[in-house]
Amino acid sequence: MSVLDDTRQLLRDLISYPTVSADSNLGLIKYLADHLHSCGARVDIWHDETGTKANLFATLGPERDGGIVLSGHSDVVPVADQDWSSDPFTMTERDGKWYGRGACDMKGFIAAAAAMAPRYARMELQRPVHFAFTYDEEIGCFGARALAAALQQRDLRPAVAIIGEPTMMQIIEGHKGCHEYTTRFTGLEGHGSRPDLGVNAVEYAVRYVAKLLELKAELQARAPADSRFTPPWTTINTGALVGGVAHNVIPGKARVDWEMRPVQPRDADYVSTALNQLCQEELIPQMRRTHPEADIHTEVIGEIDGLQPMDDNEARDIVMELTGCRHADVVSFGTEAGIFQTLGMSVVVCGPGSIEQAHKPDEFVSIDQMSQCLGMLERLSAKLV
At 322, which amino acid appears? L
Provide the minimum distance between the beta carbon of 307 and Zn ion in the complex, in angstroms, as a whole number: 14
Provide the minimum distance between the beta carbon of 218 and Zn ion in the complex, in angstroms, as a whole number: 32
CA gap 74, 108 in Å, rounded: 11
Provide the minimum distance between the beta carbon of 216 and Zn ion in the complex, in angstroms, as a whole number: 28
Provide the minimum distance between the beta carbon of 171 and Zn ion in the complex, in angstroms, as a whole number: 17
The four Cα atoms 319, 348, 332, 234 give a dihedral, to 10 degrees, of: -140
Provide the minimum distance between the beta carbon of 286 and Zn ion in the complex, in angstroms, as a whole number: 44
Identify whether 49 is a catalytic site residue.
Answer: no
Residue ranges in contact with Zn ion by CB under 5 A: 105-106, 165
CA gap 159, 146 in Å, rounded: 19
Annotated catalytic residue: which of 75, 165, 267, 362? Answer: 75
Identify whether 44 is a catalytic site residue.
Answer: no
Q: Do the strands 42-47 and 54-60 form a parallel or antiparallel pair, or are they unpaired?
A: antiparallel
**Nearest residue (CB) to Zn ion, 21 versus 264:** 21
Annotated catalytic residue: which of 6, 105, 136, 137? Answer: 137
**Nearest residue (CB) to Zn ion, 59 versus 341:** 341
**Nearest residue (CB) to Zn ion, 110 versus 146:** 110
Residue, CB closest to Zn ion:
105
**Nearest residue (CB) to Zn ion, 105 versus 203:** 105
**Nearest residue (CB) to Zn ion, 128 versus 140:** 140
**Nearest residue (CB) to Zn ion, 106 versus 319:** 106
Residues annotated as catalytic are 75, 137
